[in-house]
């Protein structure tokens, strides 16, 4: 069994989790790992001079634990290969990793088979964020004082990246985003299959 790892990153409330869930429904042998599941407890989050908890930085995440989850998935695919017949050994297993800080985390650089980055404009992002309930809740001024500046920093950081990132317009409908990415992935997976055959 071969593996194919998809990264879905982008701005908070850009639609990463929604897109990943929709893809999982329609792609065969597909698992999802969500970066949001790896936040450190509040007691371990730094605070800045304005009293804002610094959640939107890599240090707020237990990335070692997330890497273990990814390695665990890789390992389970290897085991599946050992206990399977030759035919299903041809199949590709897909792992979608979705989260707001993926492509600036060096240890993952070589893992991506396809990378997507969802963006939405400032106003829309602020509006969507205000409708969500976070734990702990966003204090007044948090979006402009922490969330958006950290997103801009992150986006700048990934400008220098050497591999291809497909930028997605997060203001498109959920259905349109799904179709665009699904079709792109089917195409990429077919390319990978071709490479296996000719290798
Ligand atoms: N394509 C879309 N158009 C409009 N709203 C969307 C779209 N995708 C997701 N949403 C909504 O935006 C909010 C954030 O979506 P979510 O997938 O949780 O974003 P993220 O995981 O990037 O933070 C949710 O309320 C969701 O219903
Ligand atoms: Mg999410």
Give the Å distance between the CA of 90 and the centre of ligand 2: 32
- CATH number of the CATH domain containing 174: 3.40.50.300
Strands (E), the chain: 2-10, 30-34, 92-98, 114-119, 166-169
Tens of pLDDT along the chain (199 residues) come to 689 999 999 999 999 999 999 999 999 999 999 999 999 999 999 999 999 999 999 999 999 999 999 999 999 998 876 776 666 667 899 999 999 999 999 999 999 999 999 999 999 999 999 999 999 999 999 999 999 999 999 999 999 999 999 999 999 999 999 999 999 999 999 998 887 777 6
Ligand nearest to the CA of 151: 1
User: Ligand 1 atom closest to Cα of 18?
Assistant: 17
> For the whole model, what pTM was predicted?
0.95
Measure the N-to-C terminal CA separation of the chain; round to a whole number of Å: 15
| DSSP bridge pairs for 53 | 47
> In total, how many domains does the chain have?
1
Which residues have CB under 8 Å from 117's CB, separation 6+?
Answer: 9, 10, 103, 158, 165, 166, 167, 168
36 is catalytic: yes
Task: Decide: 34 in ligand 1 pocket, CB within 6 A.
Answer: no
Let me know: does 192 contact 93? Beta carbons within 8 Å: no
Let me know: does 42 contact 53? Beta carbons within 8 Å: yes
**Containing structural domain, residue 77:** 2-198
Burial category of 112 from C-beta neighbours within 10 Å (exposed 0-12, middle 13-18, buried 19 and up): buried
Relative to beta strand 166-169, strand 92-98 is unpaired
Using the structure block, give the residue that is written with the tokens 């009293």. 51
């Amino acid at each position: 069994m071969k593996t194919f790892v998809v990264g879905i990153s982008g701005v908070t409330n850009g639609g990463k989790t929604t897109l990943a869930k929709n893809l999982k429904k329609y792609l065969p042998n597909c698992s999802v790992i969500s970066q949001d599941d790896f936040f450190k407890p509040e007691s371990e989050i730094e605070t800045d001079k304005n009293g804002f908890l610094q959640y939107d930085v890599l240090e707020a995440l237990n990335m070692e634990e997330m890497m273990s989850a990814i390695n665990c998935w890789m390992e389970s695919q290897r085991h599946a290969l050992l206990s399977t017949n030759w035919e299903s050994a041809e199949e590709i297993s897909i792992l979608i990793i979705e989260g707001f800080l993926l492509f600036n985390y060096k240890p993952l650089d070589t893992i991506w088979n396809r990378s997507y980055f969802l963006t939405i404009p400032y106003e829309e992002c602020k509006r969507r964020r205000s409708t969500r309930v976070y734990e702990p809740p966003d204090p007044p001024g948090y979006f402009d004082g922490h969330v958006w500046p950290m997103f801009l920093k992150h986006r700048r950081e990934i400008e220098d990246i050497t591999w291809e990132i497909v930028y997605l317009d997060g203001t498109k409908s959920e259905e349109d985003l799904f179709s665009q990415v699904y079709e792109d992935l089917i195409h990429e997976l077919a390319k990978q299959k071709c490479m296996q055959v000719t290798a």
